[in-house]
Chain A
Amino acid sequence: MADTTEVATAAGSKDPSVGLRAVRSMRVLVERLEALQVQNARDQGWTWEQIAQLLGVTRQAVHKKYASGRGPLRRKD
């Protein structure tokens, strides 16, 4: 990993092409981590309520995002 000064300089970079790409990549990274963690929680029997509480969103929001579509995240019962 780059040393702190180097990172701080880059993070403070005013070049939008660097900054915006970083923001986009962080958003994608967060989405993927969230999907993994929600799936993992469901696999371990967590309720949507419990998951939503820790994610800081409503139960409906997390349910709508992860329960409606594909199979793996759906409750098996």
Chain B
Amino acid sequence: MFERFTPEARAVVVGAQQEARTLRSPTIGTEHLLIALLRRPTPSASALTRHGLTADDVTADVVRLTGDDLDADALTSVGIDLDSVRSSVEAAFGPGALDDPKRKPERGGHIPFTPRAKKVLELSLREAIAMKSRSIADGHIALGLLREGEGLAMKVLHDRGVDPFSLRQDLALVLNP
């Protein structure tokens, strides 16, 4: 389905995979699409930025929302130094031995899209068709995110007080000036 994607839109899809890998997520979710969108220097990304979104802020939100259950600060409060526990465990059992067993994507391996992220990409095609566009641009992926309306990306948007209707209008204006 990617043949109709513009180079920018493809870069977002590839970028989302990279974001998922960096965040050690076993799947590519809507949040990784959003971060990848924000990393591109495109007019649509600027529209997102105008609504107060940056790649770094969204990444921080995602880390907070999906983060490891081991809270180093909390452990310090009861006298446990997580770093020193980690280094002695890794000395015996190898790097990453103390990591969450559920969050171990294969290094360099294929990371699958979540059903919701797939849905977003399908909806980006529909957004493009609705706007009578021949190709799917990165802005259509952003519209797909908003249209899908759920998932971690939307939670971040909501928590940051972004108005989805006004963002949608801005994106439409960028795509169809």
Contacts and interface: CB of A to CB of B under 8 A. Distances in A.
A54 interface: no
Query: What is the predominant secondary structure among interface residues of chain B facing chain A?
Result: loop
Give the interface centre of B74, B82, B100 by most chain A CB atoms within 10 Å: B74
Contacts, number: 59
Nearest to B93: A36
Sort chain B's interface into a size bin.
20 to 34
Interface in A19-45: 19, 21-22, 24-26, 28-29, 32-33, 35-36, 40
B150 interface: no
Given A21-B71, A32-B98, A33-B89, A26 B80 contact: yes
Given A18-B77, A24-B69, A26-B75, A1 B84 contact: yes
B84 to A, nearest CB: 7
Interface of B: 69-71, 73-82, 84-85, 89, 93, 97-98, 100-101
Interface of A: 1-2, 7, 10-11, 13, 18-19, 21-22, 24-26, 28-29, 32-33, 35-36, 40
